[in-house]
């Protein structure tokens, strides 16, 4: 794996390697001194063409805890708005010697262009591109699911396990959601059964061919599910006639206390944030004991540490055994 | 003007004969060509080469005036000659827009000066392509450029009343409206063919229905007011069905298809490489097959390149920011050979019909698309169907490099092109016009 552009870049063993490596990273983060020297002297650039403070600081924390030098390059006003072109920005980063470029861009496929146009040599990590994908979000979501559903919330207990047979319901604006696309691909790779729930207007044409089920009825889909993941819905969508009103959306597709009651006891509630309280999720659901919203943020750092580590310090060949990776991590941390 | 004796040439891919060109006409064909040749006639060994009437493009973007960094009339028409063309229709979406007699005459003059092919300007249907007010269609028709084809190409004349009036109005001077069929609201922000792949790639979809709905409306309008309609760059199987139905009813409609829609599919968009970004977008394999069949059975009348050169910075970027369009003049014949001749759907007479005869008739160009017969204007193309070559964008005559076929192996090259008896291309190389003598 040279880049991480899509959740489809990962087969089952590679996905598990990232998750297992993230478990080890999470354990190092319980120590008093969290910083590991693994990526000392390497440069990670956070190239954000679109505002996303939470994703940027998550990557920044991950890179810093691995001792990489971090450059934050906020390039709002890209070629789309006649600023500096993606190409010139990439050439600049190449000249500065970026070992990895974490890119967030409003254009679907922009990370593919960065990785495949010969502009830069470094590893490219997709931190969300347009309405395409957000693979590290899917990885942190899978990590969170595995921790709760397989590992019984015991750190490291889920190592090596996938999500075979688990039922995941993803609800909301699937059409415009990069989180949904990456999650469908990764969760399928890990053996989970995904059901997408949305009004028909917010499901993409051709969704029937995706490796998941779809439903227009939220209540039906909740029966026996292990995970319910709510997606942010932008209020402006109703202006384009995707749905008539926020109130109607909330009634048909929002997670409220009644629907919370339909969930099995062990089921968890997820949201990639930022939440629209009162639209897709009620305050009660957002703050309930089974909500993993805050935990997802913490897991994001561990997962991104794992991705940076695997791309920059050793790919699957060297780090094939988690023990070896652990030896190195623990060794250098002393 | 020099005379040319082409020996061993195969008119429309038939048996080998000698062909004499002099004084701008085909002077002799067959056994008497040699004896009729003047002493100073240049002999061209054309053994085995296929002779076609000079190709006619109904849909070329020459970019001048306005975007001379992407193409000029000179570079674009040189590319056309290299591709075997003797006439092109220059689309109106320049800057300023070709919506007045002044602009169409400027483009026409530039074409005459360049001398590579006949440049027939297309006039805009509406002022500034804005779709609100009819441009002075009659003034353009009466100008030196003698405009007969009108199009807002790049934009759809989406207002039904305006489209009806335009169809009616141009009847006064035998004009035709060439519609860019794209329902604007259904395609706001559209990036690629809407289907399974657009959903996966997260790119806004351009649904087939947005093209088909406009074509359906327009054939009904053309029938209602008894006017001629031409449909630009048809791209979907559904559009073919509507055209077939309309022609069956006797509606006076013609249609064109691009070489890229005959050969390429939306699968190429997986690369996010903007070389493959075009409007209308590349479609599915089933559409490609329907378009090929329609071209073969005549439902689609013509191949038109929609040659759309773009400066490199407009393609060397992310997909969303990239311009739509592909160059096509220099690869059109090889593309059609691959899509239509190799597959047995058309013979060379059929290629001549779809790439020269019918487009000349639709565009009203009397001197083009004529039979390869004694007395016809010597507008012709010699094509060697065999040599395999790899498309190299840096070796194109066009100023722009945005060919979707870069790196692809194709077969068949234009060896020579003659415009009214003057060689514009010989040995595959453009031949510059000497001493500015307008043909």
Span B360-405, pLDDT tens digits: 999 999 999 999 999 999 999 999 999 999 999 999 999 999 999 9
Chain B, window 319-378: residues with a beta carbon less than 8 angstroms from a chain A beta carbon: 319-321
pLDDT at B38: 95
A-chain residues within 8 Å CB-CB of B199? 175, 204-207, 210
Contacts with A79 from chain B: Cβ below 8 Å: 317-318, 321
Range of the domain at B86: 56-363
Whether B96 and B208 map to the same domain: the answer is yes
Mean pLDDT (whole number) for B336-358: 98
From the candidates B188, B189, B199, which should be mutated to test the interface with A, based on the most A CB atoms within 10 A? B199
Task: Tell me: cis bond preceding B280? Omega within 30 of 0 counts.
Answer: yes
Give catalytic residue positions of B: 306
What is the phi/psi pair of residue B427, to 5°?
Answer: 50, 35
Do residues B121 and B186 share a domain? yes
Q: Would you state the pLDDT for residue A30? A: 86
**pLDDT for position A80:** 45
Closest partner residue to A204 (CB to CB) among B199, B313, B319 is B199
Q: Read off the pLDDT band of A160 (50, 70, 90).
A: very high
What's the pLDDT band for B439 if we cut at 50, 70, 90? very low
Q: Do B202 and A181 touch (CB under 8 A)?
A: yes
Region label for B48, one of left (φ > 0), alpha (ψ between -120 and 50) or beta (otherwise) = left
d(CA B241, CA B406): 32
What is the pLDDT, as a whole number, of residue A77? 54
CB contact under 8 A, A205 and B316: no
User: Tens digit of pLDDT for each residue in A3-26?
Assistant: 999 999 999 999 999 999 999 999
Query: Which 8-state DSSP code applies to residue B353?
Result: I
* Residue B436 forms part of a structural domain: no
- Provide the pLDDT for residue A240: 83
Beta-carbon separation of A78 and B321 below 8 A: yes
**In this structure, CATH architecture of domain A7-132+298-333:** 3-Layer(aba) Sandwich (3.40)
* pLDDT at residue A1, rounded to an integer: 81
pLDDT at B2: 85
Q: How many CA atoms lie within 13 A of A224 on its CB side?
A: 6
For position A310, what pLDDT does the model report? 96
Same-domain status, B286 and B155: yes
Find the farthest-apart pair of alpha carbons in chain A and give their distance in angstroms, rounded: 59
A280: Cβ–Cβ under 8 A, 6 or more apart, which residues?
A171, A172, A230, A231, A232, A233, A249, A250, A253, A254, A255, A271
Least confident of A180-184, A238-242, B129-133, B386-390: A238-242
Nearest chain B residue to A87 by CA distance is: B317
The predicted pLDDT at position B374 comes to 97
Binning pLDDT at 50, 70 and 90, where does residue A82 land? low
At residue B1, the pLDDT reads 65
- Of B328, B343, B363, which residue is a domain's last? B363
Cα-Cα-Cα-Cα dihedral sign, residues A173, A178, A184, A187: negative
Q: Are residues B412 and B315 in the same domain?
A: no
- In the predicted model, what is the mean pLDDT of residues B284-289? 98
Question: What's the CATH fold of domain A135-294?
Answer: Rossmann fold (3.40.50)
Q: What distance in Å separates the CA atoms of residue A139 and residue A182, rounded to the nearest whole number?
A: 9
Q: Give residues with Cβ within 8 angstroms of B1, minimum separation 6.
A: B22, B23, B24, B421, B422
Q: How far is residue B103's CA from residue B83's CA, in Å, rounded to a whole number?
A: 26
Chain A hits for B323, CB-CB cut-off 8 Å, are none
CATH code of the domain in which B136 resides: 3.20.20.140
pLDDT band at B434 (very low <50, low <70, confident <90, very high): low
Give the count of Cβ contacts less than 8 A between chain A and B: 87
| Per-residue model confidence (pLDDT) at position A235 | 76
Nearest residue to B82 (alpha-carbon basis) of B431, B436, B408: B431
Confidence of residue A327 (pLDDT cuts 50, 70, 90): very low
B320 interaction partners in chain A (CB closer than 8 Å): 80, 106-110, 130
Is B172 touching A (CB cutoff 8 A)?
no
Q: Cα-atom radius of gyration of chain B, to the nearest Å?
A: 21
Q: Is A92 exposed, middle or buried (0-12, 13-18, 19+ CB in 10 A)?
A: middle
Share of chain A above pLDDT 70, in %: 92
Residue B258 CA to residue B364 CA, distance in Å, equals: 20
- The stretch B102-118 carries a mean pLDDT of 98
Do residues B122 and B150 touch, judged by C-beta distance below 8 A? yes
B317 and A CB contact within 8 Å:
yes
Which of B363, B387, B408 lies at the terminal end of a domain, its last residue? B363
pLDDT tens for A276-301 read: 999 999 999 999 999 999 999 999 99
pLDDT at A322: 44
Domain boundaries, chain A: 7-132+298-333, 135-294
When divided into structural domains, chain B yields a total of 2
pLDDT digits (tens, 9 = 90+) for B153-200: 999 999 999 999 999 999 999 999 999 999 999 999 999 999 999 999
Q: Is the pLDDT of residue B341 over 70?
A: yes
Cross-chain CB nearest to B202 (options A79, A108, A209) = A108
| Within a domain: B280 | yes
What's the whole-number mean pLDDT along residues B48-76?
98
What DSSP state is assigned to residue A255? Answer: B
- If pLDDT is split at 50, 70 and 90, which confidence band does A320 have? very low
Report whether pLDDT(A102) > 80: yes
- Decide if B438 is inside a domain: no
B133 and B31 housed in the same domain: no
Put simply, whether B194 touches A (Cβ < 8 Å) is yes
Cβ pair B318:A204 closer than 8 A: no
Residues of chain A in contact with residue B275, where contact means CB-CB under 8 angstroms, are none
């Amino acid at each position: 794996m040279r880049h991480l552009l899509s959740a489809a870049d990962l087969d089952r063993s590679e996905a598990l390697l990232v998750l297992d490596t993230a478990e080890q990273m999470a354990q190092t983060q319980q120590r008093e001194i969290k910083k590991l020297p693994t990526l000392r002297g390497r440069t990670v650039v956070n190239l954000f063409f679109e505002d996303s403070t939470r994703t940027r600081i998550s990557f920044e924390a991950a890179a810093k805890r691995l001792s990489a030098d971090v450059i934050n390059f906020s390039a709002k006003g890209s070629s789309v708005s006649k600023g500096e072109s993606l190409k010139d920005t990439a050439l600049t980063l190449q000249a500065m010697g970026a070992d990895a470029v974490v890119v967030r861009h409003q254009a679907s496929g922009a990370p593919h262009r960065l990785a495949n146009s010969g502009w830069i040599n470094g590893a490219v990590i997709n931190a969300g591109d347009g309405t395409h994908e957000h693979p590290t979000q899917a990885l942190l979501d899978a990590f969170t699911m595995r921790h709760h559903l397989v590992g019984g919330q015991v750190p490291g207990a889920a190592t090596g396990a996938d999500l075979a047979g688990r039922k995941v319901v993803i609800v909301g604006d699937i059409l415009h959601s990069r989180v949904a696309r990456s999650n469908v691909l990764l969760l399928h790779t890990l053996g989970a059964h995904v059901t997408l729930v949305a009004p028909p207007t917010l499901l993409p044409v051709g969704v029937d061919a995706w490796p998941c089920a779809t439903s227009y009825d939220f209540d039906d889909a909740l029966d026996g599910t292990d995970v319910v993941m709510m997606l942010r819905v932008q209020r402006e969508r109703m202006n384009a006639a995707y749905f008539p009103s926020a109130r109607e959306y909330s009634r048909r597709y929002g997670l409220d206390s009644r629907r919370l009651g339909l969930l099995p006891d062990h089921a968890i509630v997820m949201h990639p944030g930022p939440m629209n309280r009162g639209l897709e999720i009620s305050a009660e659901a957002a703050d309930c004991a089974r909500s993993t919203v805050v935990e997802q943020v913490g897991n994001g750092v561990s997962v991104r540490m794992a991705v940076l580590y695997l791309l920059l310090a050793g790919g699957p060949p060297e780090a094939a055994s988690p023990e070896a990776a652990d030896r190195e991590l623990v060794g250098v941390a002393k | 003007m020099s005379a040319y004796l082409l020996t061993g040439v195969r008119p429309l891919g038939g048996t080998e004969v000698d062909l004499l060109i002099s004084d701008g006409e085909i002077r002799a064909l067959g056994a008497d060509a040699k004896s009729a040749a003047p002493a100073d006639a240049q002999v061209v060994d054309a053994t085995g080469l296929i002779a076609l009437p000079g190709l006619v493009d109904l849909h070329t973007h020459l970019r001048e005036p306005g975007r001379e960094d992407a193409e000029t009339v000179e570079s674009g028409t040189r590319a056309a000659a290299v591709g075997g063309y003797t006439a092109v229709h220059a689309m109106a979406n320049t800057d300023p827009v070709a919506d007045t007699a002044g602009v169409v005459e400027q483009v026409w003059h530039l074409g005459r000066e360049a001398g590579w092919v006949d440049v027939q300007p297309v006039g805009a249907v509406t002022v500034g392509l804005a779709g609100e007010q009819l441009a002075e269609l009659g003034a353009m028709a009466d100008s030196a450029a003698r405009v007969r084809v009108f199009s807002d190409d790049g934009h759809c004349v989406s207002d039904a009343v305006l489209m009806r009036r335009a169809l009616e109005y141009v009847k006064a001077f035998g004009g035709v409206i060439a519609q860019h069929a794209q329902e604007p609201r259904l395609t706001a922000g559209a990036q690629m063919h809407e289907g399974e792949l657009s959903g996966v790639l997260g790119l806004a979809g351009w649904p087939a229905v947005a093209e088909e709905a406009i074509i359906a409306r327009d054939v009904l309008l053309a029938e209602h007011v008894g006017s001629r309609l031409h449909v630009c760059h048809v791209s979907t199987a559904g559009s073919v069905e509507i055209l077939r139905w309309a022609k069956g009813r006797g509606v006076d409609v013609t249609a064109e298809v691009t070489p890229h829609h005959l050969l390429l599919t939306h699968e190429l968009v997986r690369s996010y490489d903007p070389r493959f970004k075009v409007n209308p977008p590349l479609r599915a394999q089933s559409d490609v097959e329907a378009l090929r069949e329609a071209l073969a059975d005549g439902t689609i009348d013509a191949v038109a390149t929609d040659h759309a050169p773009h400066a490199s910075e407009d393609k060397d970027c992310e997909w969303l920011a990239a311009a739509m369009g592909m160059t096509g003049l220099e690869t059109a014949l090889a593309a059609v050979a691959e899509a239509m001749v190799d597959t047995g759907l058309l013979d060379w007479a059929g290629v001549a019909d779809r790439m020269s005869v019918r487009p000349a008739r639709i565009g009203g160009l009397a001197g083009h698309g004529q039979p390869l017969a004694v007395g016809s204007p010597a507008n012709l193309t010699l094509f060697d169907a065999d040599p395999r070559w790899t498309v190299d964008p840096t070796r194109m005559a066009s100023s722009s490099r945005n060919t979707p076929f870069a790196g692809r192996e194709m077969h068949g090259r234009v060896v020579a092109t003659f415009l009214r008896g003057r060689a514009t291309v010989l040995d595959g190389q453009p031949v510059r016009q000497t001493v500015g003598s307008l043909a």
